[in-house]
Homo-oligomer: A and B are copies of this chain.
């Protein structure tokens, strides 16, 4: 990246790697590389190294493995291949306005088996992102990262419906939660995002990021509120993975504290990367990376994305929202 680093902390993501088949109003794609860990790691890799913990089956196509390797800062030592198993596969279809989608099929494959092993070399990770999976599995990863300084998890409606107690237990042990607007309402019964966010803080979180897709995101932090619009774009091809690239940009930027001196953040601030200021700032990076991801299927856009383009759009976003 062209953003100078103030200091850095090692970043790890536990997530899924999937083979997606997707239909959108712009077209369709079969058996493309997807999964939360994939999108997160690719986005975070623009900021610095990112350690991936995930499992695939013996059917995982070499071409997809090579796509992951294309993102050099992704550490693939935690990518476990289970020869006798199948890779997670998902089929989905987006409706006309790209805001809602339906699942056509889900083949759990390795996701129905035990969670992937965390390599010993990852145990000194400081910044931890637990991408969406069963909250009990997310919790089980925590003890593998005893030096964690900031831990954030994603979740989804399924776990709120069938594993709310496990999710509540997880929440008590982490710093931040990232979830969709309707999921925040489902969890708390509160239709107002600020109220819903505060209820989640009451469970023990320091901050909640409520994702609203094309409408941006709302940060509810113990030390303040913020609202960020999405980057307005006409170039919408496939929204798959935008939530994960948003989180990847956010956590990648946080772990590297990219360009903090430019926004008036000091060396002292680097001691607390979960602060209101730090999180709010990191969400801009998440927003900008996600705005590229939506421009193509799979990692097709991130594969060709140049750090200069990211830098230009980051500045454009700032100038568009700055009065």
Contacts and interface: CB of A to CB of B under 8 A. Distances in A.
Give the number of copies in the complex.
2
A159 B50 CA distance: 53
A234 B195 contact: yes
Given A215-B216, A228-B229, A98 B191 contact: yes
Interface residues of A, number: 35
A288 to B, nearest CB: 11
Contact of A191 (B97, B192, B228, B229): B97
A233 B227 CA distance: 10
B281 A323 contact: yes
A218 interface: yes
Given A216-B227, A225-B232, A323 B191 contact: no
A50 B191 CA distance: 36
A137 interface: no
A120 interface: no
A236 B97 CA distance: 27
Interface in A263-302: 263, 280-281, 284
B232 A320 contact: no
A98 to B, nearest CB: 7
Interface string A223-250: 0111111111110100000000000000
Contacts of A103: none
Given A318-B323, A321-B321, A323-B280, A227 B218 contact: no
Contacts of A194: 232-234
A323 B263 contact: yes
**Nearest 8 A/B pairs, CB to CB:** A227-B229, A215-B215, A97-B191, A194-B234, A227-B232, A225-B232, A195-B234, A226-B320
11 contacts: A96-B191, A97-B185, A194-B233, A195-B234, A218-B232, A226-B320, A227-B229, A284-B323, A318-B323, A321-B321, A322-B322
Interface of A: 96-98, 185, 191-195, 198, 212, 215-216, 218, 224-234, 236, 263, 280-281, 284, 318, 320-323
